[in-house]
Amino acid sequence: MSSRHLSRSIVFQTLFEWDFSEKEKDPYEILERNLKLFGEGLRDLEYPRTLLKGVLNNLEKIDKILQEGAPEWPLNQINIADRNILRIGIFELLFANKEEVPPKVAINEAVELAKTFSNDSSRKFVNGVLGTIYRQILNLEENKENLKKENN
């Protein structure tokens, strides 16, 4: 398992526990415990910390985007595993360095998390939601480019 994939798995487990506790527990304490329990051999301990911090700092935006990407599913009706896998995927799609994590890698990694921690229908759901969000991003970028061309 790659270091980044292991980091995402640990961050997923952290977010899952934090969300399951109804956000009562300190997510950073959960992460440090999970790094000790599951992160043996993990060389880059900053990546999971940065990933968790990024998701939490952008949670309101991420959840809004999630709702727009899956309008038939109110946030509290998306199962807790899928919700947190999607949060990681959306963060990496929109807020992470695209050179470090290209969009297709972000989507693939989220699908892999769903395969590991959820079920087949969840894998399809995660892929569908992130694919929809990615297409919306591409459309926005294309529209911006077209506007620039028209204004020049």
Which fold does the domain 3-151 belong to in CATH? N-utilizing Substance Protein B Homolog; Chain A (1.10.940)
Do residues 67 and 76 make contact, with C-beta atoms less than 8 angstroms apart?
no
pLDDT digits (tens, 9 = 90+) for 27-75: 999 999 999 999 998 989 999 999 999 999 999 999 999 999 999 999 9
Higher pLDDT, 23 or 141: 23
- List the chain domain ranges: 3-151
Can you tell me which residue has the tokens 């997510």? Answer: 27
Question: Percent of the chain at pLDDT above 90?
Answer: 82
Higher pLDDT, 149 or 42: 42
Q: Please state, in angstroms and rounded to a whole number, the distance separating the CA atoms of residues 30 and 43.
A: 19
Residue 1 has pLDDT above 70, yes or no: no
Q: Give the per-residue pLDDT at 19.
A: 97
Read off the tokens for 147: 């506007």
pTM of the model: 0.92
Integer Rg of the chain from CA: 16
Backbone angles phi, psi at 24, to 5 degrees: -85, -30
Backbone angles phi, psi at 43, to 5 degrees: -80, -40
